[in-house]
Structure 1
């Protein structure tokens, strides 16, 4: 699957039976034992403080949960409720979840999210990219009365997450705002091996047929794409090859090609100084290059209107030569889909391109442990304490196994103390990707509010091409990447109003410059327009937020 931002993005009461409550308590370590000393849980699951103050929390049986769907799941089921992981979770907790999924299209999903927020008809839980999905960020969402501050609730009712944050202060720093607020149950990538998962990739069989090497610089990419266009690598005698597909949404995710010029499509830091990539002189050079590639037919002419099904068709009908792909949802997906239809089909990872041969890439995809995805409890939730308990289950030992691997004896087995995915999940029949195979059981190939295990990830990288991709895509220094800073409540409104208009204009002009509707000669006018819209104010807000983050 291509990266969209799906850059995009995604639970209210929870009643544990006595045995499960004890299991969760056991996972909590000393922190939970301290809590146990002050409270007890009766047979109905209602917690009563030893001082005599009952919590008065009713038993939770139903939960409305809004979260973006995923193509690997939607191809097989209507909602996540049909996923084996959630069916088992319902059995263990007694909580039936009604999932609310927006359309897969990122723009439509964003529109539905905005309508939901504006309507005030909120579900119990919303899981999404809170750091950039809500105008003004999570502090603004709390200020607007949409979601709850969770610090006290986590301290009282989430022993598993509390223990993890105590053990990993860097994780806590990332999920906490500058004012010390925790606003969601986070999706966390637990190890470096699970933080790199997409990058540039090409048809290795096309390169071999034309006697070409994997490109490393922008100029080498140009030469390869020209050869793909002109030398009939698919061998059908037609000039129908599409050398490169660059999804406009990919520019938002760690600058796959733009990064060759040392900048990105948003804010970045250079020696501690915040800058905005789309107004830098280097951005003009990038646009000039992309405009040349577009005019020469090296870019997919449909790139302005991303379409996942159309992309799949182009990749599986021997038309597309290169793109930026997920490791599992791209390299593995298409390799498995094509292994019977075209045994010669082979993809290979390419390094993030640079301008000068031998240079180390600055920009590339490498996530922080936390990327902004989390499950927040809305102010419409009538049972926040029980919802916190339900969400906390995923961070304990039993929840970790369920969310990463699914059901023991069905989707995984234990060998030498480690969970091992069943062979049939990792070697599905032709026409079925590994990601689709695993998606029947868990969300572990994309995201959920839990901690992703590197043990799972290294099994998921089944193919030699995938293991090579992890190595190749791990090379960039990512030294200029902004951490997940958060504006203050005072800054949020101003930042949101400024950047909403700027981002809309920026995106429109990106397409116009690349497709030639706007002459590159008008770049300076474009920069002045963004400056007049208040970008310097936004940069100052980001600069202040970066300095506060560094002091957390």
Structure 2
């Protein structure tokens, strides 16, 4: 799911923001007509004589045709299928609409390189589904270069379902458009943003808490008390001091991964909001207290000394062998997976989600934006698409946002993958107890997009139907209590702004990551923080903050 991803490390946060906050060059084109200055072909012209659709007719076209469609594949789907065209949802969509999608997928893990090769060539498919935050220059550059087209007029005319969502939700209207108002994709939406985005956070062994007579910690001091008890009071009961109070599965990296605890000090580990202005968390005064606390925990052995080198296999071993007391993870990969693995071997095994420790102002802050409704993933129409078929392609895309399309791509085929009673959806044994040995996420991937990512409005009822253990449900509820006030909205940097910020942050990140890691692991004193701040300021962080502030103000004025 997530691929819907949350970024906790400063360096990763900055990279994500820079890629998502792409160039805004649309003002140089013709905004009124939507034409592209570098191609003779109109970007999107809907016949004025036609009445705008109020619903999608089925079948859509009088004669069937095929859409050439490029998107990254997904490991959950490839566990049993070759491509998305074999998914039951797309087969049913073809049956209903009369339009077939011919999918092309780059090799797993090579989508960025293959996208760059694709977009540089002259032979483009009709539709590309991509994380447009990763496109060099952003969607603005893609439009300017005649790679993809502006969709505003086509949506007005032929996409009644997406149009209704845009017009009825001010957040979607802001987040779906570029700074000049251009809409370029049919996106992955999360209209129930808080519930759907609050699917990861801090996780703790509840059975250990119960055994030691402790409650879930709510402050950073209470966290220290609990972690110390995990280390000293043998909660796994094997008579050995082998417990790892806090661990992680980030693989090789640095200790910026501990930024899950930064909100307890009123900040996050990257660009953030403070009193309505953009600032940079690691130079804020509270960051010194954060570093001092993490250094103390590390020295006391409360943090797994292998936290920077654990890979997925090592992490799984530590959780399933009753060594891990707490960590950061998701309701599926960090909880559901281990509930399933431990159910038959340790009936007492239990997990709970814990909200971010309270900040000095008494609020629990999320380290990532819980309120983002429009993700950077979406399907765009290329300038190579047949102009005579544009209106049919748009209708085909819009079908996913209808009630019928939403049910199909969130839950699959009724009677096969799910049943429905009133407003309640329940997945069948085909999904939860797959006869072919597929895990529930692999099984659902053969039917629907919701467990992966795709051009849909992800329905929170899909989440409810997959949270089988009470611990998962409780975790989702706890993480929903967090505030997103510290996080930036999905702002966009222009090409010039992004270039300047990249130049500044490439230096800042390298120096900052090394220094803060050294402070936490004890090779440098906490007093090094003051020097770190001055050095980062000398590298131009104030200018980077200023550019983010300008982008934030543009976002607010949409």
Moved more, 180-189 or 493-502: 493-502
Which residue, 375, 384, 402 being the options, matches 2:378?
375
Moved more, 219-228 or 496-505: 496-505
- For 1:229, the equivalent position in structure 2 comes to 231
Q: Which ranges in structure 1 are unaligned for 5 or more consecutive residues?
A: 11-29, 46-58, 104-108
- For 1:463, the equivalent position in structure 2 comes to 469
Are 2:340 and 1:339 aligned?
A: no
- For 2:242, the equivalent position in structure 1 comes to 240
Whether contact under 8 Å (1:243, 1:298) holds in the other structure is: yes
Whether contact under 8 Å (2:196, 2:460) holds in the other structure is: yes
Moved more, 222-231 or 239-248: 239-248
3-state DSSP class of the match of 2:260?
Answer: coil
CA offset at residue 34 of structure 1? Answer: 9.7
Backbone CA RMSD of aligned residues: 3.7
The whole-number CA distance in structure 2 between the counterparts of 1:511 and 1:252 is 7
- For 1:43, the equivalent position in structure 2 comes to 62
CA offset at residue 445 of structure 1? Answer: 3.2
CA offset at residue 426 of structure 1? Answer: 4.6
- For 2:174, the equivalent position in structure 1 comes to 173
Q: Deviations over 1:69-118 (max 9, x none)?
A: 35x55666665555443454456532121223543xxxxx7xx6267437
3-state DSSP class of the match of 1:290?
Answer: helix
The whole-number CA distance in structure 2 between the counterparts of 1:327 and 1:250 is 24
3-state DSSP class of the match of 1:309?
Answer: helix
- For 1:286, the equivalent position in structure 2 comes to 290
The whole-number CA distance in structure 2 between the counterparts of 1:118 and 1:503 is 29
Q: Deviations over 1:490-524 (max 9, x none)?
A: 43332333334434444444433333444433323
Change (3 A) 1:243 1:41: closer
CA offset at residue 389 of structure 1? Answer: 4.4
Q: Which ranges in structure 2 are unaligned for 5 or more consecutive residues?
A: 8-15, 21-50
Whether contact under 8 Å (1:350, 1:472) holds in the other structure is: yes
CA offset at residue 159 of structure 1? Answer: 3.5
Change (3 A) 1:401 1:462: same
Q: Deviations over 1:450-503 (max 9, x none)?
A: 101122222223322222222222222322221111123443332333334434
Change (3 A) 1:35 1:235: closer
Following superposition of structure 1 onto structure 2, how do residues 316-355 of structure 1 map, counting pairs within 5 Å?
316-354=320-358
3-state DSSP class of the match of 2:527?
Answer: helix
The whole-number CA distance in structure 2 between the counterparts of 1:383 and 1:250 is 49
Moved more, 75-84 or 439-448: 75-84
Structure 1 length-normalised TM? 0.79
Moved more, 219-228 or 287-296: 287-296
CA offset at residue 276 of structure 1? Answer: 0.8
The whole-number CA distance in structure 1 between the counterparts of 2:298 and 2:4 is 21
Change (3 A) 1:499 1:247: farther
- For 1:499, the equivalent position in structure 2 comes to 505
Following superposition of structure 1 onto structure 2, how do residues 250-261 of structure 1 map, counting pairs within 5 Å?
256-261=260-265
Change (3 A) 1:204 1:284: same
Change (3 A) 1:3 1:172: closer
Which residue, 280, 292, 312 being the options, matches 2:316?
312
3-state DSSP class of the match of 2:182?
Answer: coil
CA offset at residue 119 of structure 1? Answer: 7.6
Q: Deviations over 1:253-308 (max 9, x none)?
A: 99531111111122111221111112222222222222222233322233224523
Whether contact under 8 Å (1:64, 1:99) holds in the other structure is: yes
- For 2:428, the equivalent position in structure 1 comes to 422
Change (3 A) 1:147 1:484: same
CA offset at residue 151 of structure 1? Answer: 2.7
Whether contact under 8 Å (2:297, 2:303) holds in the other structure is: yes
- For 2:189, the equivalent position in structure 1 comes to 188
Following superposition of structure 1 onto structure 2, how do residues 54-453 of structure 1 map, counting pairs within 5 Å?
59-66=65-72, 69=74, 72-73=76-77, 80=84, 83-89=87-93, 93-103=99-109, 113=112, 116-117=115-116, 120-121=119-120, 124=125, 127-131=129-133, 133-134=134-135, 137-140=138-141, 142-143=143-144, 147-191=148-192, 192-246=194-248, 256-305=260-309, 307-354=311-358, 359-363=362-366, 367-377=370-380, 381-383=384-386, 385=390, 388-416=394-422, 419-422=425-428, 425-426=431-432, 434-453=440-459
Change (3 A) 1:175 1:339: same
3-state DSSP class of the match of 1:304?
Answer: coil
Change (3 A) 1:427 1:271: farther
Change (3 A) 1:428 1:202: farther
The whole-number CA distance in structure 2 between the counterparts of 1:208 and 1:426 is 29
Aligned length: 505
The whole-number CA distance in structure 2 between the counterparts of 1:470 and 1:64 is 34
The whole-number CA distance in structure 2 between the counterparts of 1:264 and 1:64 is 36
3-state DSSP class of the match of 1:257?
Answer: helix
Q: Deviations over 1:214-273 (max 9, x none)?
A: 111112212222222233222233333221124568999995311111111221112211
Are 2:506 and 1:535 aligned?
A: no
Change (3 A) 1:402 1:250: farther
CA offset at residue 355 of structure 1? Answer: 5.3
Which residue, 32, 35, 46 being the options, matches 2:53?
32
Change (3 A) 1:486 1:343: same
Following superposition of structure 1 onto structure 2, how do residues 13-24 of structure 1 map, counting pairs within 5 Å?
none
The whole-number CA distance in structure 1 between the counterparts of 2:2 and 2:312 is 8
The whole-number CA distance in structure 1 between the counterparts of 2:254 and 2:477 is 21
Whether contact under 8 Å (2:106, 2:114) holds in the other structure is: no
Change (3 A) 1:534 1:201: same
Moved more, 448-457 or 72-81: 72-81
Whether contact under 8 Å (2:131, 2:378) holds in the other structure is: no
- For 2:34, the equivalent position in structure 1 comes to none
Change (3 A) 1:433 1:319: farther
